[in-house]
Amino acid sequence: MSIDIDLLIKENVLERSSSPEDRDALRMAEIDLALKNEELRKIRIENDDKKDLIEHKKGMIQWTQRVVGVYLLFVACVFIYYIVFQVYLAEEPGIPQEVIITLLASTTASIVGLPFAINKSIFIK
């Protein structure tokens, strides 16, 4: 059985208070303290939620960087393949020039658009 020392002190103060005004003031102070404690609890919960959201945002940014990096690597390999066959070996590479141009254009749009869209959806203000 635990004894609540604060409760005992409050009861003792209430018993010693001779005037009803003192008792009312003490009760109002207790209510005010309870409200402040509840407000503090809400703020702590919000801070914990924000901390979790920050960790999630960091993870999404890292994922975006990895996806864009892998995609750039793929496009670089295709571009190098095209240059080697077209320029150095003077052979037809099997990939038409229009496909290479479309690939480079869509890659540029993806590299600019994907991180922008993802980060915009994550960092809503």
96-125: pLDDT as tens digits = 778 878 877 887 777 778 777 777 777 776
CB atoms within 10 A of CB 82: 19
- The predicted model scores a pTM of 0.51
Q: Which residue has the tokens 């005037």?
A: 19
CA 73, CA 77: separation in Å to the nearest integer? 6
> What is the average pLDDT across 51-62?
82
* pLDDT, greater one: 37 or 26: 37
CA 34, CA 40: separation in Å to the nearest integer? 10
Task: Inform me whether the pLDDT recorded for 1 exceeds 50.
Answer: no
Q: Which residue has the tokens 């939620």?
A: 49
- Residue-level pLDDT at 109: 78
Q: What are the structural domain ranges in the chain?
A: 5-122
Q: Which residue has the tokens 């080697």?
A: 84
What's the pLDDT tens digit per position in 84-93? 777 777 666 6
Question: Which of 67, 68, 61, 65 has the alpha carbon at shortest distance from 120?
Answer: 61
> What is the average pLDDT across 46-65?
83
State the burial class of residue 116 (Cβ atoms within 10 Å of its Cβ: 0-12, 13-18, 19+).
exposed
Residue pair 97/78 in contact (Cβ under 8 Å)? The answer is no
